[in-house]
Structure 1
């Protein structure tokens, strides 16, 4: 009976990872389309190479415009804070290590996008954008991932002692389907 539950847990983990990978790819494609397509503008501003200067300038435009622009910077890559751990599929991961991995990946991706934008017509380098993107990734991760993992841990039994289990566990009301181990045929 234990073997049957193990295979069900593995199937659930695979499904969660697949959904996470598909959503992650869809999000990255949409971010690429939004940030790397050329803009047809009559003029462009000078690159912002001073930290927080762009945020100060946006705050001077008024509260509504500042919320729209700063909020857009925070929200652009924020889904990565949830989708990266989901694509990893680890329920029993360290919260600190997960946060560090996710924020690092978000910061590197944001930096890569910002550097790629320097070659796109109508796009200008802004050092505040990777900062806002990274903070958005961290906030999304902190708000969603620990609570989701705790819920999954409560829903499913803990791993056996001495063994780290990274799969999602799933119980079926009708029981699980028996599985037959595969044996290769030798010549």
Structure 2
């Protein structure tokens, strides 16, 4: 049974498998990078005030601020592409896809921040949550709609030339069955014996 709006055949399988493998590899890297204990002489207090960390980064000057902010934007940004890729669906609502992907990125970032409370040397920062989520949204908006459009065009230009609908490839006209009238009761009842 084919999932609604999914890519047809082996191409769908390859896209989903590649997306799944890359997603697992990226999540393993993120877990290692964000949850490993750090040996530092002192640790800053947790930042629970929104945008206070961004303002502190901007106070450091342009190159240092750009490095800190872009690092937080880029950490989970690949999820914006890998999550839809692992899903393997072409005919989906762009807004729904964006909302699902951003929600998943937000929850993952929140989970990381909560787990960092127990890791020595790691500091909880609410701005990381905002910037990680923004990175997921920007990557999704920049790459996924164009990629899906390209894949839909390739699917339409394939050997079958059947248009792709939300339910899969078009199958042609639905056959109709002529109406059957209701039989009179005299035809349906067995003959009575007098």
Q: CA deviation at 1:12?
A: 1.1
Determine whether 1:164 maps to 2:134.
no
Mapping 1:114-129, distance limit 5 Å: 114-129=113-128
Q: What is the match of residue 100 of structure 2? A: 101
| Shift of residue 11, structure 1, vs aligned partner | 1.3
In 2, Cα distance between equivalents of 1:46 and 1:31 = 22
The structure having more radius of gyration, on CA atoms, is 2
Shift of 1:49: 0.9
User: Greater RCO between the two (CA within 8 Å, min separation 6)?
Assistant: 1
Does the CA-based 8 Å contact 2:8-2:168 persist in structure 1?
Answer: no
Distance 1:164 1:152 in 2: 16
Structure 2 residue runs without a partner (length 5+): 1-6, 157-162, 170-194
Partner of 1:19: 18
Corresponding residue number in structure 2 for 1:84? 83
Residue 136 (1) aligns with residue 135 (2): yes
After TM superposition, the score normalised by the length of structure 2 is: 0.78
Quote how far apart the aligned CAs of 1:154 are: 1.3
Deviation at 1:20, TM superposition (A): 0.3
TM score, norm. by length of structure 1: 0.81
Q: Which residue of 2 aligns with 1:64?
A: 63
Q: What RMSD, in angstroms, separates the aligned Cα atoms of the two structures?
A: 1.4
For residues 94-135 of structure 1, the C-alpha deviation after alignment (integer angstroms, 9 at most, x for no partner) is 100000000000000000001000100001111100100000
Partner of 2:175: none
Counterpart in 1 of 2:185?
Answer: none
Q: What corresponds to 2:172 in structure 1? A: none
Please state how far the C-alpha of 1:164 moved relative to its aligned partner. Answer: 2.0
Q: What is residue 185 of structure 1 aligned with on the other side?
A: none
Correspondence for 1:51: 50
- Separation in 1 of the partners of 2:37 and 2:103? 27
- What 5-or-longer segments of structure 1 have no aligned partner? 1-7, 167-187
- Paired residues, number: 157
**1-side partners of 2:95 and 2:74: how far apart?**
22
